[in-house]
Amino acid sequence: MKMSKIIHAWSILDKLYFRCSRLEFVDEQRDNIFRVRLLTYRGPSLSFEDGTTIQSSDLLLKIHLHNYRLMKEMESIDHDIKRALYVYQRVKQSLPGLAHFFVNHPQCDDIKALLGITVLNRGVKPLGFQVSKISNPAYRTLKGWFQLPMMMLLQPHKRLTLLKKGPLAPNYLMMTKEQLVNRYFKVK
């Protein structure tokens, strides 16, 4: 199947997912790659290197990459390393907009941290993220199956290998609100 047909199919699924998951754009006009939603955390305590701890029932801002947009933008990039660098740069460019969205959010004071789930977690520490293992094996496996199609699109020459391996091993990607604001918020 041609990549353009796959991306078209992905656009339909993306619109459906967007509506069902209560996501909102951080800043669609400025081409921000993040979409977010508020999340009441349910799980074991998660600790940050600065001593901050997320407990069950803490309010978080769950971050999602806009995968369809990324796929569309990377359609002509055919090397894995170039794709990885492209995603890294898009995330880096979008973090100041995410910080601005966060600071202006009506529940900013109540939100404790950012939380994402991804298999794309190499090289995120310089951006201010911390990686933490998802402790619930059933949840990790489920999320791994959901992220498999995206990885197969990103690495088309490895599709069979990825399928044979089964679900991927995603992790939490986390950042405290202080880290986000201190690093990326600039008064406009």
Neighbours of 61 (CB within 10 A): 25
pLDDT digits (tens, 9 = 90+) for 95-115: 999 999 999 999 999 999 999
Q: Considering its fold, how many domains does the chain have in total? A: 1
Residue 30: name the closest of 66, 71, 75 by CA.
66
pLDDT at 94: 95
CATH code, 34? 3.40.630
pLDDT at 92: 95
Residue 179: name the closest of 117, 106, 99, 94 by CA.
99
pLDDT at 158: 66
Residue 39 belongs to domain spanning: 3-184
Rounded-to-integer distance, Cα 123 and Cα 109, Å: 29
> Which helix (H) or strand (E) covers residue 36, if one does?
strand 34-40
Per-10-residue mean pLDDT of the chain, 188 residues long, equals 62 70 82 93 91 94 87 81 89 95 95 90 89 86 73 65 69 93 86
Q: Is 129 exposed, middle or buried (0-12, 13-18, 19+ CB in 10 A)?
A: buried
